[in-house]
């Protein structure tokens, strides 16, 4: 299947016009200008980008990944695919030991079946001081035996584990996690600058939703944000939903960290795609008002109701760059950088990569999604 479009971004270059040849669920070739043969389909005045990669998402479409039920997982995945997410890593919030094992075991089967692309444990080894939308009573120090049990149950499907560096045994846990081939992330933390530096030296390479649920920057104690930002080995997650991070902060981080170190995430919960109301995030009750989720009865933000296409549009709009430069940067942040950070297969539109792409209209709204060479969403077109 050969597709043509007015604009095509591969993740490495911008082609205008561009074409892409898809064969056996993979990209055969891409190019600019006239294609090597007549197109099977001319997509027209659209922008084609690599499929979005969400490495931090708890649910959507009314369901949570923490339920670890195939039907619930499939509902959430289908919802996010319709918004351009072709690679999805399911995130789990803090849970008790037995529940955590049950959840990991259930989701591991979904990873093996290709429904999910991995599991992210956002807890339980986090700071109660920076608990955010996690249950403090269930948080605990990382125990080597529990870590081993969880990793064994996952059988290679866990991609990332978030940990607070100041917890007792955190450094040894990070080393254990990294030795198992899993990415260690720093988040939900009240760590000092030096404690965060120690975690990075131990092998941590991702900052879980930078700024949020972290000790803030202080003139006399730089804290985790500065330690994570200044180290070129660290990829920093940002929730660009217009609620978690101010546009000026997004621009500052993008410009200071450079093109390869920012990863856009949704941190979406079950309320994504749903109306305002009452929802659950793990064991906690969440209220959504005007699209903003908060732990019930508190001002604490509880994840987001956003999708990756929303994050992408925010990035383009608030980058401070020209249109083409902004598109190139957003593609890296929404597709290329997340896969590199977690060691996932190349998400760029390049030869031999999976044929995952998103078709965007002039307003950057999703009008088509191709995953592994098959259309999983096509918007209805007017007459």
32 belongs to an annotated ligand binding site: no
348 belongs to an annotated ligand binding site: no
**63 forms bridges with which residues in the sheet?**
60
**Phi/psi class of residue 352: alpha, beta or left (left: φ > 0; alpha: ψ in -120 to 50)?**
left
123 belongs to an annotated ligand binding site: no
Q: Which ranges of 270-336 would DSSP assign to H, the alpha helix? A: 308-318, 323-331
301 belongs to an annotated ligand binding site: yes
175 belongs to an annotated ligand binding site: no
Q: Alpha-carbon distance 102 to 200, whole Å?
A: 30
Q: What is the DSSP letter of 354?
A: B
67 belongs to an annotated ligand binding site: no
Instruction: Give me the long-range contacts of 104-110 (CB less than 8 A, separation at least 24).
Output: 104/68, 104/150, 104/153, 104/154, 104/157, 104/158, 105/68, 105/153, 105/154, 106/68, 106/69, 106/70, 107/65, 107/68, 107/73, 107/157, 108/153, 108/154, 108/155, 108/157, 109/70, 110/70, 110/73
213 belongs to an annotated ligand binding site: yes
Judged by DSSP in three states, 241 sits in coil
- 110 noted as active-site residue: no
Active-site pick, 21, 267, 309, 356: 267
Q: In Å, how far from its chain's centre is CA 269?
A: 12
303 belongs to an annotated ligand binding site: yes
188 belongs to an annotated ligand binding site: yes
122 belongs to an annotated ligand binding site: yes
Is residue 341 a contact partner of residue 53, using CB atoms and an 8 Å limit?
no
Residues tagged active-site: 267
Pick out the residues of the known binding site for substrate. 133, 212-213, 220, 244, 301-303
Pick out the residues of the known binding site. 122, 133, 188, 209, 212-213, 220, 244, 301-303
Pick out the residues of the known binding site for Zn(2+). 122, 188, 209
């Amino acid at each position: 299947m050969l597709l043509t479009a007015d604009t095509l971004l591969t993740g490495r270059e911008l082609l205008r016009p561009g074409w892409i040849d898809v064969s056996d669920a993979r990209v055969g070739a891409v190019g600019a200008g006239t294609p090597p043969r007549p197109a099977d389909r001319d997509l027209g005045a659209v922008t084609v980008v690599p499929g979005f990669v969400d490495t931090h998402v708890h649910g959507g479409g009314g369901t949570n990944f923490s339920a670890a039920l195939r039907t619930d997982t499939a509902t959430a995945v289908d919802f996010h695919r319709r918004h351009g997410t072709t690679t999805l890593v399911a995130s789990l919030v803090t849970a008790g030991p037995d529940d955590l094992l049950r959840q990991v075991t259930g989701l591991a089967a979904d990873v093996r079946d290709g429904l999910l692309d991995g599991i992210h444990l956002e807890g339980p080894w986090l700071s109660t001081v920076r608990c955010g939308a996690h249950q403090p009573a269930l948080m605990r120090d990382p125990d080597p035996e529990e870590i081993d049990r969880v990793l064994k149950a996952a059988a290679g499907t866990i991609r990332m584990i978030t940990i607070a560096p100041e917890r007792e045994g955190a450094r040894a846990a990070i080393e254990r996690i990294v030795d198992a081939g899993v990415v260690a992330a720093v988040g939900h933390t009240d760590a000092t600058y030096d404690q965060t530096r120690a975690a990075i030296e131990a092998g941590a390479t991702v900052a879980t939703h930078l700024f949020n649920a972290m000790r803030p920057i202080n003139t006399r104690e730089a804290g985790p944000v500065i330690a994570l930002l200044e180290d070129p080995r660290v990829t920093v997650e940002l929730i660009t939903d217009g609620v978690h991070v101010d546009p000026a902060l997004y621009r500052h981080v993008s410009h200071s960290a450079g093109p390869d170190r920012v990863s856009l995430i949704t941190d979406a919960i079950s309320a994504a795609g749903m109306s305002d109301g009452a929802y659950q995030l793990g064991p906690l009750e969440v209220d959504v008002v005007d699209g903003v989720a908060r732990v019930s009865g508190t001002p604490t933000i509880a994840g987001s109701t956003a999708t990756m296409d929303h994050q992408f549009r925010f990035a383009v709009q608030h980058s401070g760059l020209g249109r083409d430069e902004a598109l190139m940067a957003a593609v890296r942040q929404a597709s290329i950088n997340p896969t590199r950070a977690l060691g996932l297969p190349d998400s760029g539109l390049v030869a031999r990569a999976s044929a995952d792409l998103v078709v965007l209209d002039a307003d950057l709204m999703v009008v088509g999604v191709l995953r592994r060479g098959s259309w999983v969403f096509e918007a209805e077109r007017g007459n």
